[in-house]
Chains A and B, each alone.
Chain A
Amino acid sequence: MKTNRLIAILLCITMLLSLTACKTEKTASTQGTTEGTEATKPASTQETTEVTEATEAAKPDHIVFAYMTNNNIPESKDLLRIQNLLNAYTIEKINTEVELKLFANSEYSTQVNLMLGGGQQVDIYRAMNGYPQQDYIKNGSALDITDYLDTYLKETADSMYAGLLMTTTVGGRVYGLNTIGSNYVPTGWCYRTDIAEELNLDMSKVSSVFDLTEIFEKVHEAYPDMILNDPSRMNNVFCAYLQSTEHMDALGNDAGNPFSGVVFGTDPTVVNAFESEQFYKLAKMLEGWYESGFFAKDAATSTATTAELASSGNLFSMFAGLGNPKIASNFTVNYGYPYASIRVSDSYMQSYNYDAWLINSMTKAPEAAAKFLNLTFTDPYVHNLLSYGEEGVDYVRDADGFVIAPEGYKAISDVPYTNNINYYMWGSKWLAYRTLGGLNEEDFQKNKEDNYAASASHFYGFVFDYSDVEAEYMAISNIWSEYKKGFWTGSLDVDTALTEMNERMYKAGLQKVLDSKQAQLTAWMESNNLG
């Protein structure tokens, strides 16, 4: 009996211990990391603490900066190394300690949303992946930064081009800052130059996406097994034709997903894009491409990334925004095959920018966050540290000031820390050092001018608020996501699919959404004195 009871108690204790062990272990490990960051802080921080002691300044504020990468995610020790360098700089300059949180582009928004929803500390984050800043403003997670525009963010506000703050303004208050340098984005088509030369393709004839059919036919004849188009980038084609050529403005959506009503040109009538001739024409062309075998058979369901397809050497071409006019050289360096790009459309900005940096409304240090945000927009050291890593270790600059790989590395994408593909995603991209093979001084100035003078929709600044029709809006969005890849890759029978989809959308309340958008647009035009 006694032994039995003893065993029972022992079992009980072990179970309890095992339960609590999980918990203590967790706290221990988090303690470990914070201790780690403190312990590994370089000597310079100690110096700064001495400085702060001397000036009797307050303890530095601690903020979390969530940003994204399209390169490989660096090892944590390398990220920590960059973080320490950054802190050495920011503590001295703005008395703020910045913790870096880095996510892959594809999972950035999901992670940030979970952090925001779960109440984890994240002070500065960005709208992307189809979560426009409007959603964050609506759900209350974006801080009203209007008052900082005259103080901590003044330098940034002054560098912005006219109207850039309009798309982050709701009810006269400003909630975020769009990145500078994404206003002028013509669509490009990048192709393998080795194959083009071999087949003697005349690229001078190509000026729109419709001219590509002929090229693809020739390549398909010579290389029947080659994938001619990267299916994951097909929304660029919709942008090239519908947005930049036909001047469609999806008023809150992007051109590849124009599901909640659009306008064409300066005509303020909101229409369903899927009933327009323009959409039909493009969808039919893509259907033809698919039927001719220009895509892989599983294009609509494939999950292969550009990197996987291009590095395999079996991809002839892909579409890309030419925000960086020399994007093709980037592909060449990263994927190992020679690519060149051709412009297939001009640039045309829609009513709405998507890419604003926001400050979390629950932040404990809004001023420190604003100060650091200002640095990402205005400070070349901070910008390049985030983009290329530590000078001398992750990159070096040649005699002309171009960024090249340090000794021992083949390319700047192989180094321990680099975020060079995303260099335009934070602050002002013109702060970034130029890479060898990229823009020369002339291109650089031209790009800057183009951006400040980019052509924009007549309705630039209009922000659609779908709160009143949220249920319908979400329902339509879900229906569209069933069909979108089919339309992007032409793998659907366009005529039947369009009819079926439109029918379902109207049943789910598309008309209500169109009416709501129209009413808001009319009201907006009246208040802005647009005829």
Chain B
Amino acid sequence: MKKCRPSYQNKKSNTLSMMLIALPGVLYLLINNYIPMGGLLLAFKDYKYNLGILKSPWCGLKNFRFLFVSGDAGIIVRNTLLYNAAFIVVGTILSLTVAILLYELGQKLYARFFQSVLLFPHLISWIVASYLFYALLNSANGFINNTVMPALNLNTFDWYAEKKYWPAILLIAYLWKHTGYNAIVYLAAISGIDKSLYEAAEMDGASRIKQIFSVTLPLLKPTVTIMVLMAIGRIFYSDFGLFYQIPMNSGAITRVTQTIDTYVYKALMTNGNFSLSSAAGFFQSVCGFLLITAANWIVRKVDPDNALY
């Protein structure tokens, strides 16, 4: 085949077809992410159904007052940030560990087996998972209250009414679902490491542990940085299914299980108030934007190559 040099004409039509390919994605972005931004107007309006969004009277920051009067703003921001921070730190460490262990396992059959077992929870929807957890935690018939607690000689109680255990339960639920999937990303990165490095290390007498800390981990750093950065970019967005389904909407524990997303949803569905939920959503967007900008700024100072923009 003759190597063809793109002429101007060719280049132009190439760009056109490229743009055509991008078009559906761009349209999707426009329809899904940009047009709904008009709804943000609602956050500043006293929404009247019969007047519509544009004609409803302006009400200044009245809708935002609700978030702060109730003290809810502080709580939902705290919950969202702390949970996500815990997920990022513990999640990353755990998936790295799992990935390294899987790699060290070496034998294909074993590795495949464990990989599949670990990945399986990722394929289960939160709503199904919520019933799996319900089967464990239900105070009357649950596995933990009926089998585990008596075996350990501990008192049983109603898990869905005890605030203090929920941060741990939600963390476990998150890890159970996502560790396997994230580990695969890291496993792929480890597989890409040049084998000769390990051979050289072995020649120098490095133990398996030493190899992990001196070869594997340093070479994984860029992957970890990108994964963590991406997670930080989404730190203001909570996993709705996790926080809404797993606590089974139990009122007694809302203070520790409520995040911005579930709050917006509840404000709309239980209070039926479009303006208040828009205000909460707007608040989330602004905080999220500030945080991403800050995170990116820090990364650019420390490690310019890994900055998002």
From 107 to 162 in chain A, residues with beta carbon under 8 angstroms from any chain B beta carbon are 109-110, 113, 116-117, 131, 135, 139-141
Neighbouring B residues of A303 by C-beta, 8 Å: 248
Contact B66 A471 (CB under 8 A): yes
Contact A11 B49 (CB under 8 A): no
Known: A139-B48, A361-B49, A471-B62. Is A298-B70 also a contact (CB below 8 A)?
Answer: no
- Closest chain A CB from B74 CB (angstroms): 12
Contact A475 B250 (CB under 8 A): no
In the complex, B175 has a CB within 8 A of chain A: no
Known: A12-B21, A471-B69, A472-B69. Is A298-B160 also a contact (CB below 8 A)?
Answer: yes
From 1 to 42 in chain B, residues with beta carbon under 8 angstroms from any chain A beta carbon are 4, 13-14, 17-18, 20-21, 23-24, 27-28
Contact B271 A301 (CB under 8 A): no
Neighbouring A residues of B255 by C-beta, 8 Å: 482
- Closest chain B CB from A240 CB (angstroms): 23
In the complex, B93 has a CB within 8 A of chain A: no
Interface residue tally for chain B (C-beta within 8 Å)? 43
Known: A9-B17, A297-B140, A474-B276. Is A19-B27 also a contact (CB below 8 A)?
Answer: yes
Chain B residue nearest to A298 (CB atoms) is B139
In the complex, B158 has a CB within 8 A of chain A: yes
Neighbouring A residues of B273 by C-beta, 8 Å: 474
* Alpha-carbon distance A361/B69, docked complex (angstroms): 32
* Alpha-carbon distance A342/B271, docked complex (angstroms): 35
Contact A471 B27 (CB under 8 A): no
Known: A12-B21, A298-B160. Is A485-B66 also a contact (CB below 8 A)?
Answer: no
Contact A8 B252 (CB under 8 A): no
Known: A298-B140, A303-B248. Is A110-B269 also a contact (CB below 8 A)?
Answer: yes
Neighbouring A residues of B158 by C-beta, 8 Å: 297-298, 300-301, 491
A 463-498 to B, binary, CB cutoff 8 A, 1 in contact else 0: 000000011101101110111111000010000000
Contact B48 A140 (CB under 8 A): yes
Chain B residue nearest to A361 (CB atoms) is B50
Chain A residue nearest to B250 (CB atoms) is A301
- Closest chain B CB from A56 CB (angstroms): 34
Neighbouring A residues of B140 by C-beta, 8 Å: 296-298
Neighbouring A residues of B136 by C-beta, 8 Å: none
Contact A482 B161 (CB under 8 A): no
A 40-83 to B, binary, CB cutoff 8 A, 1 in contact else 0: 00000000000000000000000000000000000000000000
- Please pick, from B28, B66, B254, B271, the residue contacting A482 in the complex, using a CB distance under 8 A: B254
Chain A residue nearest to B267 (CB atoms) is A474
Known: A471-B69, A475-B69, A483-B251. Is A117-B139 also a contact (CB below 8 A)?
Answer: no
In the complex, A453 has a CB within 8 A of chain B: no
* Alpha-carbon distance A131/B272, docked complex (angstroms): 8
- Closest chain A CB from B128 CB (angstroms): 16
Contact A300 B17 (CB under 8 A): no
Neighbouring A residues of B270 by C-beta, 8 Å: 481
- Please pick, from A19, A113, A471, A482, the residue contacting B272 in the complex, using a CB distance under 8 A: A113
Contact A509 B251 (CB under 8 A): no
Contact B71 A474 (CB under 8 A): no
- Closest chain B CB from A6 CB (angstroms): 10
* Alpha-carbon distance A474/B274, docked complex (angstroms): 13
- Closest chain A CB from B233 CB (angstroms): 27
Neighbouring B residues of A15 by C-beta, 8 Å: 21, 24
Contact A8 B17 (CB under 8 A): yes
* Alpha-carbon distance A298/B66, docked complex (angstroms): 32
Contact A491 B161 (CB under 8 A): yes
Chain B residue nearest to A16 (CB atoms) is B24
Contact A482 B251 (CB under 8 A): yes
Neighbouring A residues of B65 by C-beta, 8 Å: 471
* Alpha-carbon distance A141/B27, docked complex (angstroms): 34
Contact A508 B272 (CB under 8 A): no
* Alpha-carbon distance A486/B65, docked complex (angstroms): 28
* Alpha-carbon distance A484/B70, docked complex (angstroms): 17
- Closest chain B CB from A317 CB (angstroms): 18
Contact B69 A8 (CB under 8 A): no
Known: A140-B50, A471-B66, A508-B69. Is A485-B20 also a contact (CB below 8 A)?
Answer: no
B 245-285 to A, binary, CB cutoff 8 A, 1 in contact else 0: 00010111011000000000000011111101000000000
Which of B20, B62, B65, B254 has the most chain A CB within a 10 Å cutoff?
Answer: B20
Chain B residue nearest to A480 (CB atoms) is B251
In the complex, A446 has a CB within 8 A of chain B: no
In the complex, B47 has a CB within 8 A of chain A: yes
- Closest chain B CB from A403 CB (angstroms): 35
Neighbouring A residues of B139 by C-beta, 8 Å: 297-298, 301
In the complex, A399 has a CB within 8 A of chain B: no
* Alpha-carbon distance A41/B71, docked complex (angstroms): 56
Contact B160 A478 (CB under 8 A): no
In the complex, A218 has a CB within 8 A of chain B: no
Contact A301 B252 (CB under 8 A): yes
* Alpha-carbon distance A509/B68, docked complex (angstroms): 11
In the complex, A362 has a CB within 8 A of chain B: yes
In the complex, A1 has a CB within 8 A of chain B: yes
Neighbouring A residues of B239 by C-beta, 8 Å: none
* Alpha-carbon distance A484/B161, docked complex (angstroms): 12
Contact B252 A475 (CB under 8 A): no
In the complex, A5 has a CB within 8 A of chain B: yes
Contact A5 B271 (CB under 8 A): no
Known: A113-B272, A135-B272, A509-B69. Is A485-B251 also a contact (CB below 8 A)?
Answer: yes
In the complex, A507 has a CB within 8 A of chain B: yes
In the complex, B115 has a CB within 8 A of chain A: no
Contact B50 A109 (CB under 8 A): no
- Closest chain B CB from A460 CB (angstroms): 26
Neighbouring A residues of B269 by C-beta, 8 Å: 110
In the complex, B138 has a CB within 8 A of chain A: yes
* Alpha-carbon distance A479/B72, docked complex (angstroms): 10
Contact A19 B66 (CB under 8 A): no
Chain A residue nearest to B160 (CB atoms) is A301
* Alpha-carbon distance A427/B115, docked complex (angstroms): 61
Neighbouring B residues of A113 by C-beta, 8 Å: 272
Neighbouring B residues of A474 by C-beta, 8 Å: 66, 70, 271, 273, 276
Contact A362 B69 (CB under 8 A): no
In the complex, B109 has a CB within 8 A of chain A: no
Which of A8, A141, A471, A508 has the most chain B CB within a 10 Å cutoff?
Answer: A471
| 5 further A-B pairs in the complex, CB-CB below 8 A; given A117-B49, A139-B48, A483-B251 | A140-B49, A298-B161, A471-B65, A481-B254, A482-B255
List the interface of chain B (C-beta within 8 A of A): 4, 13-14, 17-18, 20-21, 23-24, 27-28, 47-51, 62, 65-66, 69-72, 138-140, 156, 158, 160-161, 248, 250-252, 254-255, 269-274, 276
- 15 A-B Cβ contacts within 8 A? A8-B20, A12-B21, A19-B28, A139-B48, A140-B48, A296-B140, A301-B250, A303-B248, A362-B49, A470-B62, A481-B251, A481-B254, A481-B270, A486-B251, A486-B252
